[in-house]
Structure 1
Amino acid sequence: MSSKKNDDRKSVVVVGGGSAGVNIARPLSSQLDATKFKLILINPRPFRVLLPATLRMVVSEVDNLGTTAQALVPFDKLFHGENGTFIQDSVRSLNEKVLTLGSGEQVPYDILILCPGLSWADPIAFPESTEDVKTYLSRSREKFAGAGSYLLVGGGAVGCELAGELKDMWPEKEVTLVHGQRLLFNDTYPDRFRKSAADHLTGRGVKIHLGDIVEDFPAEAAPATVLTKGADLVLKTTGATHPNTDFLNSLDADALTPAGFVKVKPTLQLLNHPNIFAAGDIVEWKEQKQAIKAGAHAKIVTQNVLNYISGRSLKNYSTGFEAILVTNGKRGGYSYFGVLWGLIFGAWLTSLLKSKSLLVPMFRKESGLR
């Protein structure tokens, strides 16, 4: 292939190597004509952090999850036939033709796919370099092991799953979960599931305070130094802090909601930019933010990118039923599937589907690994 022909290829750029980005970049690498298109994936870390595995990973060394052989999944096998390029960097800004990276490098694009995901608070606020991640994990495990009691502020999936991991490791230590709503989780899920979740946790000795908030939680203090309600270690477990979309302000003043989520058409294209698509947790859509939703976005975006290139009609995205699988340590858990009358399952099925493996084999396979 001559260099001129190579330069004439159109650029398809994917920003973000999480669930959505991986499940777009990999199929596109096999379906795009490599003589006409060059595919680029940009991600600030040299690996994908498997979010479902992070809470067990930061608590202990169980299953050695904090390695590239397990839940830190590299991108070296992602592209089919090496029909793609990986760039480790962040995006600082963009215009209608070019991305400017944190390093200052400029990357032109013809089609852009935005999947940068969300930022998370401690204890799953992972840094970007491999060495910094190792240090973060070591300090996190020391912090958890050294505390005699824990207060988790937030009773959604993060708080509930972390409580289960702590009880797996230290069943004799006191774990308290505080949640501002009348029941755990939110009203996406029926009361009977939310009550069942509480029963699973209290059955392991977790203390739950509902309809309560921690008013004196210092926003900037390191959790290890906080003493609130008598707990040794206090952690804010309310979930993600914000979407990683600040760089989009340079493109379009109307691209984002006030909370930073990306406004999209049902085709998952940006409102004013038909050659820019968005997928995953950054999308403003009435549904819960979950890896399963990101995977569904990825299928639509992959097909719509190919349709856009060939001039065919694009497909609309629609949310399927809501479902959630919540681990309660390695052998426990509880699940809800919003089909029929709403199906609720306990430890056996949830452990089989998620708690035991944390979906690590499935996610590694998505990246072309075993």
Structure 2
Amino acid sequence: MPSIVIIGAGGFGAPIARALSSKLDPKQHTITLISSRDFFTHLPGTLRMIVTPEGELEKRVLMPLDKLFVKGNGNFVLGTVTEVRSDKDGRRGWVVLESGDQIYWDILVLAPGSSWEAGLNLPVGTKNHALSHVEAWRSQFAHAEKIVLAGGGSVGIELAGELRDLYPNKKITIVHGGPYLLNEAYPLKFRKDIELKVRKRNIELLLQNHLDQLSPVISSGVEGTYVTREGNSLVADLIVPTRGGKPDTSFLSSLPGASLTASGHVKILPTMQLPAFPHILAAGDVIDFPEQKQVGKAGAHQAVIVPNVVALLKEIEIGQAAHLKEYQGTFEAIVITNGKYGGSGYLGVLWGILFGDWLASLFKSRWLLIGLARSQLGL
């Protein structure tokens, strides 16, 4: 009986697992989802969750996986993957867990997501571990008076907005290496608009500066002076790295022929297969593809991965040549919150559509897409 194994139960792996469970016959295939956490983390809600106890967001942002598989058609395994192994032709193999257990695969989908820093770096294991982490971060923010966020991408901007909502009088500074917030994937007009809105909330910006050696958080409990790479001084009692995530692909070093870029991204064919491994596919933040790494791309990835897995299964079972779909990418779009009632949005269609606080709040800022994410998990 062919076995499909999916590594990662995040914003890409979980919906792929659910979609496959609705399409495949459990009498003919097995589906196994592996994750180092026994819950789904809804990242858009995590930054507010680690700042404020209001609304007890941990009860809705950290989502159970018990209803993920349609009609129970699938198995969940809690564990950390340390190795991936394959036979010579790349069409079957097994994954090795930290526990030493091995899980056989005929088709493997890699969706391990990113490794994050500081508050977003939820511990592996059970939800109870995560809850302790959340409480610790709420306490750190509550006791700090001068907070520096090292990174002015979406993580730093949104965390600053959440902190300002709860703490109107704390000093908050974002340090960012570029001349404008975000990166060049987005138009300058949009980036300037966000900068203006951030400054209006009395959040200071130190642009074209870098804070080094943040491992993982500088928290002295008392004010200290820190100097940027460029020689500028900052006074802070809490410095939080808010840089983007890094692809969580270190376990692939065990797989000879799995091509990784210098940044750790997985090289793929247009069909989302690994070049040397026809029965290994990859999706999500880890793929080497010229697009922004966002959970909003999950639907477009799923629309290629799921039919390609089904086609490869037919190839295994009846020898029918697999006609595979190719991933063409999708337009860039982003909504960045600025607290509960503010934010900015960009849609990379037509001439490039920008929108402000009212629409950003309606789409995301107030409810953080939590209900949508829960429905996609069968909750």
Q: Place the TM-score, normalised by the shorter chain, in its bin.
A: over 0.9
Task: State how far apart, in whole Å, the 1-side matches of 2:177 and 2:275 are.
Answer: 35
Letter aligned with residue 74 of structure 1: P
CA contact (8 A) 1:280 1:295 kept: no
- For the 8 Å contact 1:16–1:114, the answer to whether it is kept is yes
2:277 to 273, 283, 304: 273
Equivalent-residue separation in structure 2 for 1:254 and 1:111 (angstroms): 15
1:234-273 CA-partner distances (Å, limit 9, x unpaired): 1111121x22111111112442112211110011000111
| Matching residue of 2:103 | 107
Kindly, what percent of the aligned residue pairs are identical? 42
Unaligned ranges ≥5, structure 1: 1-8
CA distance in 1 between counterparts of 2:181 and 2:214 reads 23
Give the drift of 1:275: 0.5
Task: Tell me what 1:135 maps to.
Answer: 132
**Which of 21, 25, 29 is the aligned partner of 2:17?**
25
Matches within 5 A, 1:161-310: 161-214=158-211, 217-220=212-215, 222-225=217-220, 227=224, 228=226, 229-240=234-245, 242-310=246-314
Q: Is the 8 A contact 1:270 1:277 kept in 2?
A: yes
The answer to which of 181-190 and 220-229 deviates more is 220-229
Question: Does residue 123 in structure 1 map to residue 113 in structure 2?
Answer: no
For 1:258-313, what per-residue CA distance to the aligned partner results, in whole angstroms no more than 9, with x for missing partners? 22111100110001111111000011110000001133212210111112222441
- How far apart are the structure 2 equivalents of 1:221 and 1:318? 37
Q: Does 1:53 align with 2:57?
A: no
Distance, in Å, in 2 between the alignment partners of 1:273 and 1:302 is 17
Structure 2 residue 347 is the aligned partner of structure 1 residue 367: no
The TM-score normalised by the length of structure 2 is 0.91
1:66 partnered with 2:94: no
CA distance in 2, matches of 1:36, 1:303: 17
1:357 matched to 2:367: yes
Structure-2 separation of matches of 1:77 and 1:247: 28
Q: Is the 8 A contact 2:347 2:353 kept in 1?
A: yes
In structure 2, list runs of 5 or more residues that go unmatched.
87-92, 227-233, 315-320
Aligned residues: 356
1:220 Cα deviation after fit: 2.9
SS in 2 for 1:336: strand
- For 1:155, the equivalent position in structure 2 comes to 152
> How far apart are residue 223 of structure 1 and its match?
2.3
Is residue 13 of structure 1 aligned with residue 5 of structure 2? Answer: yes
Distance across 1 between alignment mates of 2:156 and 2:214: 18
Task: Output the amino acid matched with 1:104.
Answer: G
CA contact (8 A) 2:9 2:33 kept: yes
Which amino acid letter does the alignment assign opposite residue 317 of structure 1?
Y
SS at match of 1:177: strand
